[in-house]
Amino acid sequence: MELTAQAIADHLNGTVIGNPEAKVSTVARIEQGKSGSLCFLANPKYENYLYTTKASVVLVNRSLIPTQPVEATMVQVDDAYQAIASLLELFNTMKDARRRGRSWRASIAWSAKCKKDSWVGAGATVGKRSVIGEGAQIHPQVFIGDYVTIGENSVIFPGVRIYNGCKIGSNCIIHANVVIGSDGFGFAPTPDGSYKKIPQTGNVVIEDDVEIGAGTTIDRATMGSTIIRKGVKLDNLIQIAHNVEIGENTVIAALAGIAGSAKVGRNCQIGGQVGIAGHITIADNTKIGAQAGIMSTVKREGEVLLGSPAIDAREYMKAYAIFKKLHKQQ
């Protein structure tokens, strides 16, 4: 696929500075740009590469004022980071045309429904009464249990397991080896010291526009539903326990774990390896730094938390300034 600088500018409502006929056929990091590649500059720390890159076209913010001559053609946009995301999506769409139909090696129950323009790949299993929405892409070796719903244009990558009764919204992306609807960790202690398994009778509901990274597990509810709200983005290798609810547009980085019945608010940002205790609530717009431990409810919206147990980030940094010097006082 090849695009000119002018075509890129037209797509992004940008302005060309340089040769509007400059052509690109690939994307690259600005420090690795070569002739024929498209790069972007969003972080001022990388501005020096703008003057040395061999890339043909570079996306830059309108606010940028170059301090040296720039050989590459620039396309000025309001937000270079958002612009490159839009272009990468365009590249991806043009490169990977959606497939249709079903492989003869797929196992699809007679009562299942695969709607218009959907695709089910080789070795995939679709259980009874399940519904695959219009344009959905079910890659090879996916297991979809009984009474599952997959929404329109959702993409389920190889090795995903979706247990009975779970519901996936439209325009979702679920990466390889995700498990949705596995049993929650529910066991009742008995007088003899052993544990009796508590049946997990609920399901998982994933709303529209959710992306789930590879190897993540989302447990079914004991009763009712584990819910991932619209627009949530989950990184790889995250554990979401039974009856958890994640609010709209919250993002969670890799290796985080959320214990049962916790409720995370809207527009939260949760760093890698964060642990959240069960049966607590996290207020909207909370930011939690990597490796923090949240052991009690966060009531105030917009807090920034660090440490384990987590406290206000400013208080944590004051404490850190003291305890990092303690060894010098001995």
Active site residues: 242
In a 10 Å sphere around its CB, with 0-12 CB exposed, 13-18 middle and 19+ buried, how is residue 104 labelled? exposed
Beta pairing class for 257-258 and 113-114: unpaired
**C-alpha distance across the termini of the chain, in Å:** 65
Q: What is the DSSP string of 270-283?
A: E-TT-EE-TT-EE-
Strand partners, 281: 263
| Omega prior to 189 cis, within 30 of 0 | no
Helices 5-12 and 80-95 sit at what angle, rounded to 10 degrees? 110
The alpha-carbon radius of gyration of the chain (Å, integer) is 24
- Write the CB contacts of 81 (distance below 8 Å, at least 6 apart in sequence): 40, 42
Among 254, 253, 280, smallest CA distance to 264 is for: 280
Distance (Å, rounded) from C-alpha 22 to C-alpha 59? 13
Please report which helix (H) or strand (E) contains residue 74, including its range. strand 73-77
Query: Would you say 266 and 250 are in contact if contact means Cβ atoms under 8 Å apart?
Result: yes
DSSP 309: T
* Residue labelled with tokens 């147990």: 309
Distance (Å, rounded) from C-alpha 58 to C-alpha 76? 9
Distance (Å, rounded) from C-alpha 18 to C-alpha 57? 9
Helix (H, G, I), strand (E, B) or coil at 243: coil
Query: Would you say 126 and 114 are in contact if contact means Cβ atoms under 8 Å apart?
Result: yes
